[in-house]
Structure 1
Amino acid sequence: MKNSRKGIIFFLLCLAGVAVKPVFAQGDRYDIIPYPASLTAGTGAFTITPTTRINAAPGKFTNEVAQLNQLIKRGLGVTLKPGAGSKAINMVYDETLPIEGYHMDITPAAVTIKSRTPAGMFRAVETIRQLLPIGLENGSYHGKTLSLPAVSIADQPEYAWRGMHLDVSRHFFSIGYLHKFIDLMALYKMNKFHLHLTDDQGWRVEIKKYPLLTRQGAWRTFNNQDSACMKMAKDNPDFEIDKSHIIQRDGKTLYGGYYTQAQLKELVAYAASKHIEIIPEIDMPGHMMAAITSYPFLTCNGENKFGELFSKPICPCNETTYEFAQNVFDEIMQIFPSQYIHIGGDEVDRTDWAKSAECKAMMQREGIKDLAGLHSYFINRMEKYFNSKGRRLIGWDEVIEGGISPTATIMYWRTWVPDAPVKAAKNGNSVIMTPGEPLYFDNPADQYSIYKVYHFNPIPAKLNKEEAKAIIGAQANIWTEKIPSENRADYMFMPRMTALAERLWNGDAKNYDGYLKRLTDQYKRMDALKVHYRLPDIPGIVSENVFTNNAVLSLKKPLAEMTIRYTTDGTLPQTNSMVLAGPLNITKSTNIKLAAFMPNGLRGDIYNITYKQQSLAPAVKANITAGLKCDYYKAFFKQTSLIESKKPDSSFTANNIVVPASVNAPSFALVYKGYINVPESGIYTFYLTCDDGGILKIADRMVVDNDGLHSAQEKNGQVALGKGLQPFLLKFIEGGGGFALKLKYSFNGSTPAEVPSTWFKN
């Protein structure tokens, strides 16, 4: 009734000739990501015209004036001239504000922005950017004025490190794409760009002292990662290898590329204009095959191959190794003025070091007790060199294993070593949180991904308030083994980055619904910026469906402008495929492929949906006790089907589907078997989340196949069950590197819930 009364009053005032400005809902006017720390809605709007002036503090904010004028010129066709007066945009120096903080007041009379630093002023400019018409992003806005809604904002970031990482070694990306990546980071107030420039698969930065690093190390024949992408490209063009990075040389087809020092220096300057620091990573002593190919003297024995898990590293016991490393980093420091240099230091196969006479002699000479200590010797020696040049070292969390100085910065990624960031923080190290779950954006996204990123807490629970100060922020990592194109890169990190941006900027995970509403508007901005983002998931889809008589496929579009199209002949949905305009009645077994399309042709995920007619499985009779029998195998398996080749190491009774604390082998398998006592007859849906893999069979019917080695992902399926005891079998494998196992169910379409422990029998 209150809204109706306001509408009547508004109508009567209009009839009376009274000038009335409409009152907007706060979310409609301020669809800002990340949301400001404090925002108070105002009344009216500030109008920008060609006569509006920008009044900046003398000698300050020159770059920020230019950045704002770039935006305005896209809309008005002209830049604003400097000067004071009424109807001006005022950029004011305020030494009381934090480093990246700003205060902004927009009224119909003026815009006043206060900041202590150019970085803070630039963050305010990016807020203004999100308040201006989306058409400015692609030049489609052609008005005579621009309008900013009235608002008062007091804003500052919660975390100093708000980072994004991009691996350009596994697959290479153009320098233009790196510019686009930086633009998107700036839009959402991210400030650290971790550029992974070298790895086994390619060396991507010109080093003039060692020209073979790029002449040879930047190029490769197609490898198994490329062939895997080519196979997936048959169904999704995003997986096509970028032809612009393929050359013919000496009768061979080679893939790769590299950046010249001049290109990277320009990129650094471009990022700096948007107050983004580029942190280069030259990964060593491991992940150096691309360098060893050209300079085999770097190894202890001249070999350049993979060990059991990782590639053979460079040798930390030869002075020629340190001469090479220092020469490389000298040139890196000339390109990148960042206070940080990332040395990697992860995933090192140290076995060859143990065989080296030089390493044995060094360990005895330096009092090094083990190979982990030798690893640390290399990292600590390089850190001293970095420090002598005024730089700080960052390493992945493996570098703490043999001892690390408290002046190094640690990047935590191994979720299966939860004490690593705690140990580093207690050692006095600054820590950047980058755990694989949920911040490895190369892991496939699903309907839970954005939620998990938004609710990620960078502070480990075991740290007290004082120790928590060591956590300087977080970043998301994009490893590109299965990301061969720029479109695929866009898809993998957008819109997940917007959730991380809000979490790190305002430190508040309590406004998720508001964030999702604002994200809906941000999709339009991404469209204008030609971002090949991942469309929101279509909710409620079950991959493997069963029915007794008939079923109904009824879906709700997450975005109003979406069109859902489908096929039943096995072909992929296209823009001219049949439209799913309403409920679809299923009366026979069938396979459906469907996808959502946006008006601009952007296609969402392809869903493969199977419907199978199935009778209710009759219940069985058995003498039962509570819980399931669980067999525990201390071995590595690539597939659950291989478990039968081994005998279990032990068995126990499990009351629910969880991995107990007593299961601590680095690689293992669990087989849960017995019965599930279902209380009603009908269609049951089961949701199995696995990292690595698992399968679920009920009533001797395959219900969910989530097999293989992969990151945490949920798959679902249905089964028709009669009331009572039904045979139950769940197999789970963990290949190493952290695990996840969860089983939920729903009955006749109910909300998914944990399977009650009272249902499990054996």
Structure 2
Amino acid sequence: MKQLKSLLFSAAVIILAFSCGQKQETVPMDQHSIIPIPVSVVPAAGSFTLDGKTAIVLQADPAQVQLIGEYLKSSISALTGLNLNIAQEDRDNAIVLALDASASDKEEGYRLAIMDKKVLISAPQPAGLFYGIQSLQQLIPAHGGKIPGVNNQFSLPQGSIEDYPEYGYRGMMLDVARHFFSVEDVKKLIDQIAVYKINHLHLHLSDDQGWRIEIKSWPLLTTIGGANEVGGGKGGYYTQDDYTEIVRYAQSRFITIVPEIDMPGHTNSALNAYGILNPGITVPEATAVPVDRKALGVDEEDPDATPYHTGIEVGFSTLDTDSPVTYKFIDDVIREISELTPGPYFHIGGDESHVTAMEDYIPFIEKAQEIVTKYGKKTLGWDEVAHAKLLPTSVAQYWAKAENAIMAIDQGSKVLISPAVKAYLDMQYDSTTHLGLHWAAYIELDEAYNWDPTELEAEIRREHILGVEAPLWTETITTMSDIEYMTFPRLAAIAEIAWSPKTARNWEDFSRRIAWHGQRWEAQGKNFYRSPKVEW
């Protein structure tokens, strides 16, 4: 009986402590779970209490930071249920967003200081404030859904963070050509990757199976070319208004959209629509499906147009590289998309064009570069483009052959690092993974993490590298849930390689931190891969 009374008394004390607003135990800042790991973390004693009376204070021109403040308000609400006010006047119990040129000598750098009465995020540019917010959110002991705060109070550790990225280009690629994904799915992905300070989303907008963006001067590209996908599904496409909305939404998350129109290979969806572009290719018989043009509202037959390709074989298609009509087509496509794209890059593909003779491929790539330049963009291309003469502003994306990347470097071009054996998110985790392929490798989480762009080849040095990108091809990916499963947790690993200094990265520490992110993903309903390499 005495023991029972003691237990009841202890329980009563605990309930009283919670009801009186006792703060939860605070994890010291040097035991944080921030991904990507910051450049510098200095812990301090004590904590800051985030509660319903905390304000978000904007110490800058509202035109520059108002949307960032509203993003922070919305994010904290989703994590904690708190509805914070946004103010202009400095005060205690506040999260202060300040534009300050002295905060960092890096364009995307930021400083985060958590004190007992205030949190200060300062940066020379708005992008730095946004990245500081991502780190702050990962210090809040809440995951959304069930609110773990005591009396809606959340204890953040005191200390300071100084941080900036290793590489200026930190990207993910989404293939919307093999399978189509809606505007809402793309916006959801943008929100998810922004958390990890990814700042480029490369959209693979055309391939043999489907054409995914409206070109007003060539309308059948979407009417016909957009009405197919792997497996013979109905496909889909983005209107120019849809694409503009994706670009706008990405900009609000400090992400640059990089459009890709693959050429001269991977072009069967264009040849479905316009036979005049077809030099006489043959679609693999087992995956060829006739195009019912009348069912799509097209009265004119086109005997030179190709059938649909519903499989995943590559390398059989090419544009007619000798035809002036081809270059009129390319000019129109690049012009219309460039007008909708504020970012600096236009990706021309250039990979796996196996039926294009090299003597035709080289002048084609050089002409495509000229057109991209004419419309004010810089050319990106898969590493095969290095066989052509590259412009100094062009970038080769190293995915397959190091010798191609080195040829680009020898011409004075930068390289974007995306080795299929390390960074391809569509590769299976292991032989039991129900999605993905494994032609390049099985890529478990530790394999996605334990490499560095400067250690792939001796001839590819830090000064040659523009950044790092993780592509997700979608031959086997059909839903947003599939995207999440193949992307997370591996994208977090790639993001840390792209952002954090090599000396700060450590697999054992990353595996501890990613487990905390798994708790947040689970609370948010995200379908992620629970790697056996991590104690989730």
Normalised by the length of structure 1, the TM-score is: 0.58
Please, which runs of 5 or more residues in structure 1 have no aligned partner? 1-18, 227-252, 352-370, 540-556, 560-762
* Local SS of the residue matching 1:132: coil
Which whole-Å CA distance do the structure 2 matches of 1:298 and 1:272 have between them?
35
Equivalent residue, structure 2, for 1:400? 386
Within-5 A mapping of 1:503-522:
503-508=497-502, 510-522=505-517
Structure 1 CA distance, aligned partners of 2:467 and 2:124? 21
What secondary structure, in the 3-state scheme, does the structure 1 residue paired with 2:247 have? Answer: helix
Q: Aligned residue for 1:536?
A: 531
Q: What secondary structure sits across from 2:512 in the alignment?
A: helix
CA pair 492-521 structure 1, distance change in 2 beyond 3 A: same
SS in 2 for 1:323: helix
1:343 aligned residue:
348
Give distance in 2, aligned partners of 1:164 and 1:379: 24
CA distance in 2, matches of 1:159, 1:324: 35
Residue 58 in structure 1 maps to residue 61 in structure 2: yes
Q: Which residue of 2 aligns with 1:36?
A: 38
- 2:190 matches 1:187: no
Distance 1:102 1:124 in 2: 6
How far did 1:76 drift?
Answer: 1.5
- Counterpart of 1:104 in structure 2 is 112
C-alpha distance in 2, partners of 1:312/1:20? Answer: 64
* Structure 2 counterparts to residues 377-396 of structure 1, below 5 A: 377-396=363-382
Conserved in 2, the CA contact under 8 Å of 1:167 and 1:195?
Answer: yes
Residue in 1 that maps onto 2:256: 277
- Indicate yes or no: 2:87 matched with 1:86: no
Pairing 1:454–2:477 present: no
1:179 Cα deviation from its structure 2 partner: 1.1
Q: Residue 459 of structure 1 contacts residue 468 of structure 1 at CA under 8 Å; is this kept in 2?
A: yes
SS of residue in 2 equivalent to 1:432? strand
Q: In structure 2, do the counterparts of structure 1 residues 433 and 382 end up closer, same or farther at CA, with 3 Å as the change threshold?
A: same
TM-score, length basis structure 2: 0.82
| Counterpart code for 2:480 | E
Q: Distance in 1 between matches of 2:408 and 2:203?
A: 23
Q: Distance in 2 between matches of 1:341 and 1:139?
A: 43
Matched, 1:292 2:271: yes
**Structure 1 residues 80, 296: CA separation in 2 closer, same or farther (over 3 Å shift)?**
same
What is the alpha-carbon distance in structure 1 between the residues aligned to residue 354 and residue 471 of structure 2? 23
Asked if 2 retains the 8 angstrom alpha-carbon contact of 1:123 and 1:189, the reply is yes
Q: Which amino acid aligns with 1:388?
A: K
Query: Deviations for 1:612-648, whole angstroms, at most 9, x for unmatched residues?
Result: xxxxxxxxxxxxxxxxxxxxxxxxxxxxxxxxxxxxx
Match of 2:395 in 1: 409
Question: 1:134: Cα distance to partner?
Answer: 3.0
Specify the SS of the correspondent of 2:101: coil
The answer (yes or no) to whether the contact 1:204–1:257 under 8 Å persists in 2 is yes
The answer as to whether partners of 1:36 and 1:506 remain within 8 angstroms in 2 is yes
Shift of 1:23: 6.8
- Greater per-residue strand proportion: 1
Q: Percent identity?
A: 33
State the distance in 2 between where 1:487 and 1:330 align: 34
1:167 aligned to 2:175?
yes
Asked if structure 2 preserves the Cα contact closer than 8 Å seen for 1:376 and 1:400, the reply is: no
Instruction: From the CA coordinates, give the structure whose radius of gyration is larger.
Output: 1
- After TM superposition, give the deviation of residue 34 of structure 1 in Å: 0.9
Choose from 316, 322, 331 the match for 1:317.
322
SS at match of 1:105: strand
Distance 1:463 1:120 in 2: 32
| Partner Cα distance (1:504, 1:117) in 2 | 20
- The CA distance in 2 between the partners of 1:181 and 1:169, in whole Å, is 16
Distance in 2 (CA, whole Å) between partners of 1:448 and 1:168 is 22
1:55–1:26 Cα change, 3 Å: closer
Provide the C-alpha distance between the structure 2 equivalents of 1:407 and 1:373, rounded to a whole number of angstroms. 23
CA contact (8 A) 1:134 1:528 kept: no
Tell me the residue number matched to 1:568: none
* 2:419 paired residue among 435, 443, 450: 435
User: Structure 2 vs 1, CA of residues 38 and 378 (structure 1 numbering), >3 Å: closer, same or farther?
Assistant: same
Amino acid at match of 1:192: H
Q: Which residue in 1 is equivalent to 2:290? A: none
Equivalent position SS for 2:190: helix
After TM superposition, what 4+ stretches of structure 1 lie above 4 angstroms from structure 2?
19-23, 25-28, 138-143, 460-465
Q: Distance in 2 between matches of 1:73 and 1:483?
A: 32
Matches of 1:215 and 1:141, distance apart in 2: 51
Any gaps of 5 or more consecutive residues in structure 2? 1-21, 281-303, 431-441
Alpha-carbon offset, residue 193 of structure 1: 0.5
Q: Is the 8 A contact 2:113 2:161 kept in 1?
A: yes
Match of 2:143, SS state, is: helix
Deviation of 1:392 (Å) = 0.6
Report if the CA contact (8 A) 1:52-1:81 is conserved.
no
Structure 2 contact 26–156 (Cα < 8 Å) conserved? no
Greater RCO (Cα-Cα under 8 Å, separation 6 or more): 2
Q: State which of 520, 525, 549 in structure 1 corresponds to 2:520.
A: 525
